[in-house]
Structure 1
Amino acid sequence: MSQITAFGTYVPEKIIDNHFFEGLIDTNDEWIISRTGIKTRRYSKDGEYTSDLAYKAVQNLMESSGKDISDVDFIVVCTTSPDQPMPNAASRVQYKLGIQNTGCNDIYAACAGFVYGLQMAHGFINSGVYKKVLVIGSETLSKITDMSDRTSCILFGDGAGAALVEPGEEQFLAFNSGTNGDLGHDLYLSHKKNSINGVGINPNSKIVQNGRSVFKWAVGNIPIKIRELVDKAGLTMDDIDYIVPHSANLRIIEAIAKSLDYPMDKVPESVTEFGNTSSASIPIAIEKSRKNGGIKKGDIVLMIGFGGGLTFAGTIVRWNL
C-alpha cells in the first residue's frame, strides 16, 4: 500500500499579466480573460530551467513536512520542457538534491504527466521495488512557447509541484488512463519530424496546438472518464469532495464541471493565476486550494490530467496531509 506523505510546490517570481502580450500580438486583457480565464502567469528567469524549479518544489516539500529525502530511491520527473533531452531532468534533480543511490526517469506525457507519475510510484511501492519515490511535475513552458502564435502564447506559464510517495495506509482508491493517439497532431512539440499520422506539422521546437480540437476532445471525453473512475473506486459523485482537473483553460474546466453537474467551488484550478503549467498544474491547484481553506485531510480528491498524446490519466485519493 502507498500514500503521499509530503507535498510541495514552487512558482517563479516573475509575474506576467495579459498586457504583456499586447505588444506582441493582436490581443488585450479582456479578450484573454473571456476565452481562457487567465489573468497572470509566471515566467522563469534566464538561466532558470525545469530542474531548478523541480529542485525548489522539493525544497518546499521538505520545509513544509520536515521529511528527510536523502534515502529516496527513485525520482520521477514529469515534464514536456526538460533542460535538455539527455541527461533526463530527473538526473539533474538528483544532482541538485545530492541524493545517492536513486534511480531516475522522466515521464513525457504532457499535462497528464503528474498523475501518470503517481501511478508509477504507486506501482513501485506496492511491488516492493522501491520504498521512497519522489514524483515531480515541472515545466518551463515559457521557453518553448511560440510568442507569435496568438492562440497559444497567452496560455502557458512555468511552475513545479512535488509529492513524496511511501508505503503506508492505502491512499489511492483508483486509477485510470487512456490515449487517442490518432489526435497526436492536434497538440505537439517537434524538433525534427515534419508529420504526425501523415498530417504535416511544423518542427519548430515550439508548442503547437489546435485549441478547438483539444477543447472538443477534453469536454467530450474527460467527464466520461471521471465517471468511469468514480465507478471503478466504488464511489458516487456525491462522495467526491474535490475534482482537480489539469488547469488547461478555465472554460474547459467550467464545461467539464457543467457536464458533470458538479459545483465549480469544488473544482480547484491554478490557471487563472498561473496559466497552463502542464504537468505542474494539478499540484499547484491542490496547494492553492489548501492555502485557501479548501482541500483538507480526509477529503476524497479526484485528479485528472489530459493533454498531448492526446492522453489522460486519473486517480482518486483520500487526502491525508
Structure 2
Amino acid sequence: MTSKIIGVGNYIPSETITNLFFDKHIFFNELGITLKEDNALITSKLKKITGIEERRYASSDQTTSDLGVIAAQKAIENSGIDPETLDYIIFAHNFGDVAHNSVQSDAVPSLASRVKHALQIKNNFCVAYDLLFGCPGWIEGVIQANAFIKSGIAKRCLVIGAETLSRVVDIHDRDSMIYADGAGAVVLEANENDCSGIKSHLSASFTLNEKDFLYFGKSYNNEGCKGIKYIKMDGRKIYEFALLNVPVAMKKCLDESGYTINQLNKIIIHQANEKMDEAIVNRFYELYDTPTPPDIMPMVISKLGNSSVATIPTLLTMILNDELESHKIEKGDVVLFASVGAGMNINAIVYKF
C-alpha cells in the first residue's frame, strides 16, 4: 500500500509586493546601527542572492487559516471526494493566525479545526490538528499522513501548508524582504491499485548546535518596537548548514526509494533562496558524480518569495495545473521533495506520479 496524491490546491494572494515597496524602509544591522547603503542597492543585492523580485502578501482581512481554507477547498474539489470522508486534516504553519497590523498570535482553536469548521465537515472522527516543524512542516505533514494511511488508521488525509510571514517580520531588518504569504494543500488517499505514491521519506532534527539559526528576536530598531519579537535568522549559518546536510539527506532518501539518480525527473525544493537551492541541488548531483540536468528544479521564488510551509504545495499545484511553461510532471515521473528550516529540521520524500 502507498499514499497517493489525488488532489492539489493552492492560494496565491493577490497583493503583489515588488522590491520598490521597501524603498522608504529604514534598515538597521544587528547592533541597531543604520545601514549606510541606500535601499536600491540593498534590494539589488537581495535579488542577486535570493532571486526575489516580488512576493505576495495576504489582504488585510485575511489570516493564515483563511488562506488554508481556500487551498483546502481547491484540493478537495480537484480530488472529487466528499470532504466527510476525510480521516485527518493536518495544518502545517508556524505562527498561527496573526491579524493585519497585529503581533498577537492566535492558535486556539487550532487552525486545522478552523478549516474543518469552514468546510462544514460534520464527521466528528475527522481529526484536525496543527503541525509546527519550521518550513519543512508541510512535507512532515505528508509523512505523518502517509504513516496513518499505511498503518490502516486512515484512508484519506488533507494536508495544508499556509503562512502569513509578512505579519511577523521586523520592517527594520533587510531579511524581512525575503518573506511572503501563501497556502497549498493536497489530499492523500490509500492506494493499492498501481505503483504510484510515496516510495520513501526521511526526516531529521539538528538541535545540538543549530537550534537558534532561526529564532524569534527583538527588532533591530532599538528605539522602537520594544517588547515585540519578530522572526530572525542567521543567514550565513543556515546557508552553510543547508549545503552540508540537505544534499546528503536527499541522497539517503533517494537511495532508500530504490530509484537511481538517472530516474529522477524533478526536484521540488522549498523556495528559500534561489542561489542556496541551486547549490543544494548541484551538491546533491555531485554526490552521484553526475552533472545536474537542466530544468530539474522549478523555481517560483522570484515572483512569490518565501512563504515557508506553503512554497512546496503551491509550486506542486502550479506544475500539475500546467501553470509553468517549462515544467511538467507526467504519469510515471519520479519526483524528489525536500525542505530545510527552523529547528533546524530537514526532510525529503520520493514520490512516483
The TM-score with structure 1 as length reference comes to 0.91
After superposition, give the CA deviation of every residue in 1:136-155 in whole Å (9 maximum; x if it has no partner): 001111111111111x1110
Q: Which runs of 5+ in 1 are unaligned?
A: 192-201
Shift of 1:257: 2.1
- CA 1:297–1:82 in 2, change beyond 3 Å: closer, same or farther? farther
After superposition, give the CA deviation of every residue in 1:9-28 in whole Å (9 maximum; x if it has no partner): 11111000111111114433
Matched, 1:268 2:291: no
Equivalent pairs counted in the alignment come to 308
Equivalent in 189, 192, 211 of residue 216 of structure 2: 189
Letter in 2 for 1:22: D
1:18/1:32 contact within 8 Å kept: no
Shift of 1:203: 7.7
1:5/1:166 contact within 8 Å kept: yes
Report the Cα distance in structure 2 between the residues aligned to 1:51 and 1:31, rounded to whole angstroms: 33
Map 1:36-115 → 2, pairs under 5 A: 36-83=50-97, 84-100=106-122, 101=124, 102-115=126-139
After superposition, give the CA deviation of every residue in 1:169-208 in whole Å (9 maximum; x if it has no partner): 35110001111112111102369xxxxxxxxxx9843111
Report the Cα distance in structure 2 between the residues aligned to 1:5 and 1:306, rounded to whole angstroms: 25
Partner of 2:177, secondary structure, is coil
- CA 1:53–1:257 in 2, change beyond 3 Å: closer, same or farther? same
Partner of 1:130: 154
Report the Cα distance in structure 2 between the residues aligned to 1:264 and 1:144, rounded to whole angstroms: 36
Matched, 1:121 2:145: yes
Report the Cα distance in structure 2 between the residues aligned to 1:166 and 1:87, rounded to whole angstroms: 26
Matched, 1:176 2:202: yes
Letter in 2 for 1:175: H
Partner of 1:111, secondary structure, is coil
Which is richer in helix? 1
Shift of 1:310: 0.3
Letter in 2 for 1:18: N
Runs of 4+ in 1 over 6 A off after TM superposition: none
Letter in 1 for 2:182: G
Partner of 1:159: 182
- CA 1:189–1:89 in 2, change beyond 3 Å: closer, same or farther? farther
Partner of 2:229, secondary structure, is coil
Report the Cα distance in structure 2 between the residues aligned to 1:243 and 1:61, rounded to whole angstroms: 21
Partner of 1:76, secondary structure, is strand
Shift of 1:35: 1.3
Partner of 1:254: 278
1:270/1:284 contact within 8 Å kept: no
Report the structure number with the largest CA radius of gyration.
Answer: 2
Report the Cα distance in structure 2 between the residues aligned to 1:122 and 1:256, rounded to whole angstroms: 26
2:249/2:347 contact within 8 Å kept: no
1:71/1:99 contact within 8 Å kept: no
Report the Cα distance in structure 2 between the residues aligned to 1:66 and 1:124, rounded to whole angstroms: 21
Report the Cα distance in structure 1 between the residues aligned to 2:253 and 2:156, rounded to whole angstroms: 26
Report the Cα distance in structure 1 between the residues aligned to 2:95 and 2:299, rounded to whole angstroms: 21
RMSD: 1.7
Partner of 1:311: 345
Letter in 2 for 1:126: K
Partner of 1:27: 39
After superposition, give the CA deviation of every residue in 1:231-258 in whole Å (9 maximum; x if it has no partner): 1112211111001111100011111122
Percent identity of paired positions between Structure 1 and Structure 2:
33
Shift of 1:62: 3.2
2:76/2:187 contact within 8 Å kept: no
Report the Cα distance in structure 2 between the residues aligned to 1:30 and 1:178, rounded to whole angstroms: 34
Partner of 1:98, secondary structure, is coil
